[in-house]
């Protein structure tokens, strides 16, 4: 049985291959190969039954040399920081190739949103922003919906 693919290791292999083809300066390559910033945090949420459940969350800001980071926030039970790192990296590349003045970001929470009530989802979204608000905004990092999140959830985050 084959092992699971690590998305970030795949992204780094892709980068190394292209950097070699381009004969990219090794010092520049070392800067671009890794995310500039990563946030790992816990989000305590009061559930409808009165209990408190703690969720693990991430935000990766890969590179903002071309402008503010942009990228979605994913809510998925199999979310990993390596998947978030890879998606932020790929977003940096997509923005550069499309000549957009943006960098790559991505966020995630390990959760199956289908198991939460509407009010629990709202508290989780607001909790995410309570942790990240100092590192988000139109000149820093612009989140968007992604897997497992909706425009309503982005509305709660914006309101927070």
Selection from 105, 32, 27 nearest residue 67 by Cα? 105
Among the options 70, 94, 106, 121, which is catalytic?
Answer: 106
Lookup result for tokens 């946030």: 39
pTM here is 0.91
pLDDT, tens digit, for every residue of 120-134?
Answer: 999 999 999 999 999
CATH says 7-159 is which class? Answer: alpha beta
Catalytic residue status for 106:
yes
pLDDT, tens digit, for every residue of 60-113?
Answer: 999 999 999 999 999 999 999 999 999 999 999 999 999 999 999 999 999 999
For the chain, the domains span 7-159
Helix (H, G, I), strand (E, B) or coil at 133: helix
E strand or H helix that includes residue 145:
strand 141-145
């Amino acid at each position: 049985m084959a092992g699971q693919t690590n998305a970030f290791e795949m992204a780094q292999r892709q980068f190394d291959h292209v950097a070699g083809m381009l004969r990219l300066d090794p010092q520049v390559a070392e800067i671009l190969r890794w995310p500039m910033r990563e946030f790992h945090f816990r989000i305590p949420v009061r559930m409808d039954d009165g209990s408190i459940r703690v969720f693990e969350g991430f935000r990766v800001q890969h590179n903002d040399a071309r402008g503010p980071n942009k990228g979605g926030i994913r809510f998925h039970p199999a979310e990993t920081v390596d998947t978030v790192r890879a998606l932020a990296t790929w977003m940096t590349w997509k923005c550069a190739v499309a000549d957009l003045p943006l960098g790559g970001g991505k966020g995630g929470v390990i959760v199956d949103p289908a198991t939460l009530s509407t009010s629990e989802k709202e508290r989780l979204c607001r909790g995410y922003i309570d942790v990240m608000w100092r590192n988000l905004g139109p000149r820093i990092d612009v989140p968007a919906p992604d897997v497992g999140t909706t425009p309503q959830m982005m509305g709660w985050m914006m309101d927070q």
